Amino acid sequence: MRITRIDFEGREGYFAIAKRKRDAKQIEVEILQPTMQGSHWVDADDEDELFAMATFLQQVLDGYEGTMEEASCYYSALLCISDIGI
């Protein structure tokens, strides 16, 4: 089995989609907000980049700067489509 896409839903109107095509070296994270949207890419084998993205996702989707534990929930999900694994 291979996971290729993860959908995140935050506070009302805030979403993110993390996706990775087969053999891609990067994970694309699309951020969807009420007034704008954009994509970010992180290396699929870089733990630091993945955790930084998890922290960013937590802040954008939840609307506040959370704890390491809260960011870890997003990080665990991103690991499912990374080269690092759980």
Banded model confidence at residue 6, pLDDT cuts 50, 70, 90: very high
Read off the pLDDT of residues 19-77 as tens digits, 9 standing for 90 and up. Answer: 999 999 999 999 999 998 999 999 999 999 999 999 999 999 999 999 999 999 999 99
Domain total of the chain: 1
Residue 23 lies in a domain: yes
Residue 30 lies in a domain: yes
Residue 73 lies in a domain: yes
CA-CA distance, 74 to 56, in Å (whole number)?
9
Residue 27 lies in a domain: yes
Residue 85 lies in a domain: no
Residue 84 lies in a domain: no
pLDDT at 16: 98
Task: Determine the distance from the C-alpha atom of residue 59 to the mean position of all C-alpha atoms in its chain, rounded to a whole number.
Answer: 11
Helices (H), the chain: 47-62, 68-79
Residue 86 lies in a domain: no
Q: Which domain holds residue 17?
A: 5-79
Residue 28 lies in a domain: yes
3-state SS of 16-33? Answer: EEEECCCCCCEEEEEEEC
Burial-class residue 59 by CB neighbours within 10 Å (0-12, 13-18, 19+). middle
pLDDT higher for 76 or 86?
A: 76
